[in-house]
C-alpha cells in the first residue's frame, strides 16, 4: 500500500503550524529502533497521555502516525496538562493495574534516560491512618511483595521520628513505600511534551485541529473530519479524547462516562524551609486529602477529593471554589504546622473522566471496525502511560497482548 495523502488538506501550512512548538527534525530517531515496519497509516485524535503514548508506540512498531489535538499536547484544558501525577502499585485487588503500573514505571525510567529529560521523582508514598488501618496496611504490604514492591507498616513513634513536620493527631499507623513503582511522582505536562517531541523527531506528524468522525461506509470510517473542508484519511483511527469523548461520540459515551472537576492547590513554604520539599517529604494520602512534596519550588501539592461537580472541558473557567480553598487552608494549618498561614501560590482545576467500573475503555467501535477508543482514565490513568501505549499499539497492530486487559477494557 502506498503512503496515503491527507485529503483536501493544505498539508504544508498545517504541518508547519502544528509542529512549531516541538522539534521539527523528522529524520532523527526518537530513541529506539522500530521493531518492524507495519505498512499502515494511523490517525490518533487526542494528545493527552493516552493518545501520545499510543501514537508513540505505534510509531515504534513502524506505522505512519498522525496525531491530532484541538489544543496541543499536555494543554491545560486536558486531564494530562497538570503539574504532576502519582505512580503507585497499590490497587486493592485489581492486580492487573499493579502489573501495568510496574511495567509503566520501568518504561518511564527507560524513556526519560534515553531522552535525557528527567520527569520521574522517586518521592516515596505514605498513607496515614488510624489504629484500624494497620491490618489493611499489612495486607497491602503482603500483597505487593508478590510483585516485588516492598513497603513498611509504621506505628505512631516511627512516623513521628521520620516526619516530625506532620502533626499526627488522629493518626496511629502508616504504610510507606520508599520510591520506585510503589511510590513515585511523574511530571505530567513535561512528560507529555517529551513524548510529543520524540514522536515528531521520529517522523510523526502533529496537527493542531479538531478531529471528528467523518463519513463511513461498509462498516469502516473513511476519514477524520477536521472541519473547514479538511480531513485526514488513514487505515485506522484511534480516538483518545479523554473528557471530550461524549462530545465526539455522544450516543456511545454520554451514557458511559462521567466528567468530574478536581481542584489542586500548591502551598508555598516559608523562605528557606525545605521540610515539605522532595526529598524530605513524600507523596501522602490522609483521608480525603492527598498531595505531593514541593517539587522544583512549586509548593506542597494538596488535592481534596472527591468533588462531583461536572465540567465542560472546552468552555469552563479553571477558577477554584472559595469553600474548597478554605478547607485546604484549614487542613494545611492543622496537619502541616510548618506551613501554617502560608499562601497558596498556584491552583489548577482539572477533570477526571470516569467509566462506571473505573476501568479504562480500550476497544473497537461497535459499528466501524477501523475505529478504536482509548479513554476513561478514571482518575488513575496517567501513571500507566507508556505501558498502556505499548498495549494499545500491540493490540491494534499486532494483536499480541495480555488477554486479561482486553476483557477489562471492553466497551461495556
Ligand atoms: C487533578 C487530577 C489528578 C490526577 N492524579 C492522578 C495521579 O496521581 N495518577 C494517575 O495515574 N492519574 C491521575 N489522574 C488521571 C490522569 O491525569 C488521567 O487519567 C489522564 O491524564 C487522562 O489522559 P487522556 O489522554 O485520556 O485525556 P486528556 O489528557 O484530557 O487528553 C485528551 C486530549 O484530547 C484532545 N481532544 C479532545 N477532543 C478532541 C478532538 N475532537 N479533536 C482533537 N483533539 C481533541 C484534548 O485537547 C486533549 O489534549 C489525575 C487527574 C486529575 C484531573
The Å distance, Cα 326 to ligand 1 centre, comes to 27
Within-domain flag for 89: no
Kindly give the number of the ligand 1 atom that is closest to the alpha carbon of 245: 38
Q: Is the pLDDT of residue 321 over 90?
A: yes
Residues 329 and 373 placed together within one structural domain of the fold: no
Domain total for the chain?
A: 3
**Position 307 in a domain:** yes
Q: What is the pLDDT of residues 113-154, one digit of tens each?
A: 999 999 999 999 999 999 999 999 999 999 999 999 999 999
pLDDT digits (tens, 9 = 90+) for 163-190: 999 999 999 999 999 999 999 999 999 9
Q: Please check whether residue 109 lies inside any domain of the structure.
A: no
Between strands 216-217 and 220-221, the pairing is antiparallel
Does any ligand 1 atom lie closer than 6 A to the CB of residue 387?
A: no
User: Domain end: 159, 178, 197, which one?
Assistant: 178
Q: Considering the domain boundaries, does residue 85 fall inside one?
A: no
Looking at the structure, tell me whether residues 369 and 344 fall in a common domain: no
Domain match, 202 and 66 both: yes
Whether residues 251 and 363 share a domain: the answer is yes
138 within domain boundaries: yes
CA of residue 131 to ligand 1 center, whole Å = 36
Ligand 1 contact via 383 beta carbon (within 6 Å): yes
> Does the pLDDT of residue 19 top 80, yes or no?
no
- Ligand 1 touching residue 375 (CB < 6 A): yes
Cβ of 80 below 6 Å from ligand 1: yes
In a domain, 384, yes or no: yes
57, 170: one domain: no
Describe the crossing of helices 49-60 and 188-201 by its angle, rounded to 10 degrees: 30
Q: Are residues 269 and 395 in the same domain?
A: no
Percentage of residues in the chain with pLDDT exceeding 90? 87
Task: Single out the residue of 384, 337, 354 nearest to residue 100, CA to CA.
Answer: 384
* Residue finishing a domain among 355, 382, 397: 355
Identify whether 93 is part of a domain: no
> What CATH number is attached to the domain comprising 36?
3.50.50.60
CA of 270 to the centre of ligand 1 (A): 33
> 204-260: per-residue pLDDT in tens?
999 999 999 999 999 999 999 998 889 999 999 999 999 999 999 999 999 999 999
Q: Is the CB of 385 under 6 A from ligand 1?
A: no
The rounded Å distance from CA 307 to ligand 1 centre is: 17
Q: Is 264 in the pocket of ligand 1 (CB under 6 A)?
A: yes
Which residue range is the domain that position 152 belongs to? 125-178
CA atoms within 13 A on the CB side of 233: 12
Q: Is the pLDDT of residue 18 over 60?
A: no
- Which CATH number does the domain housing residue 335 bear? 3.30.9.10
Q: Is the CB of 46 under 6 A from ligand 1?
A: yes
pLDDT at 2: 36
pLDDT at residue 326 tops 80: yes
Q: Is 230 in the pocket of ligand 1 (CB under 6 A)?
A: no
Residues 150, 24 share a domain: no
Within this chain, do residues 306 and 334 fall inside the same structural domain, yes or no? yes
Q: Is 240 in the pocket of ligand 1 (CB under 6 A)?
A: yes
Residue 372 belongs to a domain: yes
CB proximity list for 162: less than 8 A, separation 6 or greater:
154
Ligand 1 contacts CB of residue 52 (under 6 A)? no
State the closest ligand 1 atom to the C-alpha of 382, by its place in the atom list counted from 1.
11
Q: What is the mean pLDDT of the chain?
A: 91
Pocket mutation for ligand 1, best pick of 44, 78, 409 (most atoms within 8 Å of C-beta): 78
Of 355, 372, 395, which residue sits at a domain end? 355
Does 319 lie in the same domain as 284? yes
Q: Verify whether ligand 1 is closer than 6 Å to residue 304 (CB atom).
A: no
Residues 329 and 386 in one domain: no
Q: Are 26 and 157 within one domain?
A: no
Is the Cβ atom of 212 under 6 angstroms away from ligand 1? yes
Same domain assignment for residues 266 and 330: yes
Amino acid at each position: 500500500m502506498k503512503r496515503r495523502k491527507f485529503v483536501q488538506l493544505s498539508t504544508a501550512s498545517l504541518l508547519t503550524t502544528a509542529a512549531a512548538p516541538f522539534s521539527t527534525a523528522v529524520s532523527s530517531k526518537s530513541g529506539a529502533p522500530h521493531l518492524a515496519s507495519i505498512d499502515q497509516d494511523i490517525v490518533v485524535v487526542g494528545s493527552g497521555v493516552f493518545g501520545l503514548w499510543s501514537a508513540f508506540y505505534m510509531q515504534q512498531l513502524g506505522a505512519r502516525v498522525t496525531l491530532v489535538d484541538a489544543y496541543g499536547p499536555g494543554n491545560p484544558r486536558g486531564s494530562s496538562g497538570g503539574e504532576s501525577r502519582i505512580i503507585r502499585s497499590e490497587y486493592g485487588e485489581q492486580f492487573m493495574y499493579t502489573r501495568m503500573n510496574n511495567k509503566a514505571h520501568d518504561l518511564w525510567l527507560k524513556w526519560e534516560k534515553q531522552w535525557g529529560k528527567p520527569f520521574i521523582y522517586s518521592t516515596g508514598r505514605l498513607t496515614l491512618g488510624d489504629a484500624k488501618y494497620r491490618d489493611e496496611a499489612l495486607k497491602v504490604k503482603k500483597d505487593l511483595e508478590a510483585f516485588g514492591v516492598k513497603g513498611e507498616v509504621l506505628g505512631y513513634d516511627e512516623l513521628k521520628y521520620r516526619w516530625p513536620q506532620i502533626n499526627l493527631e488522629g493518626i496511629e499507623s502508616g504504610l510507606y513505600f520508599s520510591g520506585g513503582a510503589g511510590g513515585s511522582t511523574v511530571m505530567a505536562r513535561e512528560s507529555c511534551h517529551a513524548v510529543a517531541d520524540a514522536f515528531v523527531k521520529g517522523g510523526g506528524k502533529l496537527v493542531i485541529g479538531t478531529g471528528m468522525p467523518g463519513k463511513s461506509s461498509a462498516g469502516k470510517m473513511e476519514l477524520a473530519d477536521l472541519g473547514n473542508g479538511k480531513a485526514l484519511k488513514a487505515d485506522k483511527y484511534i480516538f483518545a479524547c479523554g473528557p471530550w469523548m461524549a462530545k465526539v461520540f455522544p450516543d456511545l459515551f454520554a451514557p458511559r462516562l462521567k466528567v468530574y472537576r478536581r481542584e489542586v492547590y500548591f502551598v508555598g513554604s516559608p523562605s528557606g524551609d525545605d521540610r515539605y520539599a522532595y526529598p524530605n517529604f513524600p507523596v501522602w494520602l490522609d483521608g480525603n486529602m492527598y498531595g505531593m512534596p514541593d517539587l522544583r519550588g512549586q509548593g506542597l501539592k494538596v488535592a481534596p477529593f472527591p468533588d462531583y461537580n461536572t465540567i465542560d472541558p472546552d468552555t469552563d473557567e479553571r477558577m477554584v471554589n472559595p469553600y474548597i480553598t478554605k478547607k485546604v487552608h484549614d487542613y494545611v494549618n492543622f496537619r502541616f504546622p510548618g506551613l501554617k498561614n502560608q499562601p497558596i501560590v498556584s491552583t489548577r482545576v482539572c477533570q477526571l473522566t470516569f467509566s462506571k467500573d473505573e476501568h479504562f475503555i480500550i476497544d473497537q467501535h461497535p459499528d466501524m471496525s477501523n475505529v478504536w477508543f482509548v479513554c476513561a482514565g478514571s482518575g488513575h490513568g496517567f501513571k500507566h502511560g507508556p505501558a498502556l501505549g505499548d498495549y494499545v499499539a500491540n493490540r491494534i497492530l499486532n494483536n499480541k497482548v495480555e488477554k486479561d486487559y482486553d476483557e477489562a477494557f471492553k466497551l461495556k
